A and B are shown apart, each in its own frame.
Chain A
Amino acid sequence: MTGPRLVSILRQGSYLIASIHTALDDTEMTAFQHDLVERIGRDRARGVVIDVAALDVLDSFASWTLRTIGEVARLRGAVTVVVGIQPEVAFAMVALGMDTGSVRTALDLEEGLAFLDRVVGPRRPATATRGGPA
């Protein structure tokens, strides 16, 4: 994409952190979906955080795209969590009749990463010093 970056996808350990920085139209949203899914495969990500805190609207298409990303990611072995849905946006989504389906949500990036740590293990699995019952 040209111009100011609409989205960013960063790798952090075995996770990908995808942030949407501004309102996207459907074409851009679809491009984002393709980029992210492609990155999940390429980086063999185990967890994906999608940060939508900057979005003031998540309409049916955007919600549906997030669900699709989550489902495709699952087929590729990654857990997806959507973070940063604003209070008004959450209410509008529900009133519209949308949700994120099987995709989990968390309050913010920190909570999202904590969630991934719980379900797919810590970000740096190499350091297996943390003990615990197997």
Chain B
Amino acid sequence: MSSTQGTAPTTATAGFDGPGEDQLLPQLVAHLREHRARLRHEWSDRIQQAGLLHAMTPQEMAAETTSVYDNYVEVLETGSVEALQRYARDLSERIIPRGVETHEVVGIVLLLRDVLARSLFEKYQRDFGLLNRVLDAYEPAANRIANTVAVSFVEERERVIRQQQDALRELSTPVLPVRERLLILPIIGVLDRERARQLTEQLLTGIRTHRARVVVVDITGVPEVDESVANHLVQTVDASRLMGASVIITGLSPKIAQTLVTIGVDLSKMDTIGDLQGGLEEAERLLGYRTARDDGTAVP
């Protein structure tokens, strides 16, 4: 913060007549507290106009903007960003999973800086000298706040990404039970031998756990496979069959199909369907069809 930081007084007496430099920030803080409701509202409107934070509901937005506002004023008052930093990390942790982007977070803080600066402008516009001194005191503090929030957000985001990557590595092949007896295995990213192995183990164990009769393996997200991985894929299909589950492959790109044919995989023996939606429909048909046939064959 600026050089005024260390001199922030403990009492925030509002003296409008020729305040000393050390009185400027307390005065400012008192002003922001006094007009809290109006300024906060103004800020919220600006956020909405700018189309930021659309991932949040109005209620959430109101709650968070109030907290940010209060933290903001507190930093101006105490000169300490610790509380703000903690809050910013906490906020980031909550909103990152909602898909809030860095530019949005930086954007709303800059908007708040702007809104507050305008209100100061209005308040002090008749005393240009005082206005200048107030803004001199305010701006460095406001910039520091913006910086703190942005850095906290980015750090938190990186931490979350790292965590997600770790989790992704562990669960690189999530087996999703979508409905009774039906599993989906969406494979995303490059398949190497080790991942392919994990995939198979998880799928086969998943079949037993969920007592699956049909499995849809979606490989839309797989850019390419080499021969050993393609073989592995075929083995996975065969092993699933040995456990009594039918496998439908969806999202087979022409390139991968070519690889499979090249290594001698008989594609006619594999149930392949263009996209995941079609695959799911086929799966439901298989499950439903069987039920229908149960009844149909009930009479000898």
In the complex, are there CB atoms of A and B closer than 8 Å? yes
Instruction: Name A's B-contacting residues (CB within 8 A).
Output: 83, 85-88, 90-91, 93-95, 99-100, 105-108, 111-112, 114, 117-119, 121-122, 125, 128, 130-134
Q: Which residues of B contact A87 (CB under 8 A)?
A: 201, 204-205, 207-208, 239, 243
Residue-wise interface mask of B (202-220) relative to A, using a CB-CB cutoff of 8 A (1 in contact, 0 not): 0011011001110000000
B242 near A107 with CB under 8 A, answer: no
Q: Which residues of A contact B242 (CB under 8 A)?
A: 85, 90, 93-94, 99-100, 105
Pull 7 A–B residue pairs with CB atoms less than 8 Å apart, ordered by A. Answer: A87-B201, A90-B242, A93-B242, A107-B207, A107-B213, A118-B294, A121-B298
Q: Which residues of B contact A112 (CB under 8 A)?
A: 244
CA A83 to CA B242, docked complex, whole Å: 9
Say whether B290 faces chain A, with CB atoms less than 8 Å apart: yes
Residue-wise interface mask of B (225-243) relative to A, using a CB-CB cutoff of 8 A (1 in contact, 0 not): 0000000000110111111
Q: Which residues of B contact A91 (CB under 8 A)?
A: 200-201, 204, 235-236, 239
Q: Which of B238, B245, B298 contacts A94 (CB 8 A)?
A: B238
Q: Which residues of B contact A93 (CB under 8 A)?
A: 239, 242
B300 near A125 with CB under 8 A, answer: yes
Q: Which of A83, A117, A132 contacts B299 (CB 8 A)?
A: A132
Q: Which residues of A contact B200 (CB under 8 A)?
A: 91
Q: Which of B201, B243, B293, B299 contacts A107 (CB 8 A)?
A: B243
> Given A107-B208, A118-B293, is A132 in contact with B300 using a C-beta cutoff of 8 Å?
no
CA A4 to CA B219, docked complex, whole Å: 48
Q: Which residues of B contact A94 (CB under 8 A)?
A: 235, 238-239, 242
Q: Apart from A93-B239, A121-B297, what are 11 other A-B pairs with CB-CB below 8 Å?
A: A87-B208, A90-B239, A91-B200, A91-B201, A94-B238, A99-B242, A100-B242, A105-B242, A105-B243, A107-B208, A118-B294
B235 near A95 with CB under 8 A, answer: yes
Q: Which residues of B contact A128 (CB under 8 A)?
A: 299-300
A132 near B211 with CB under 8 A, answer: no
B244 near A130 with CB under 8 A, answer: no
Q: Which of B213, B241, B290, B296 contacts A132 (CB 8 A)?
A: B296
Q: Which residues of B contact A121 (CB under 8 A)?
A: 297-300
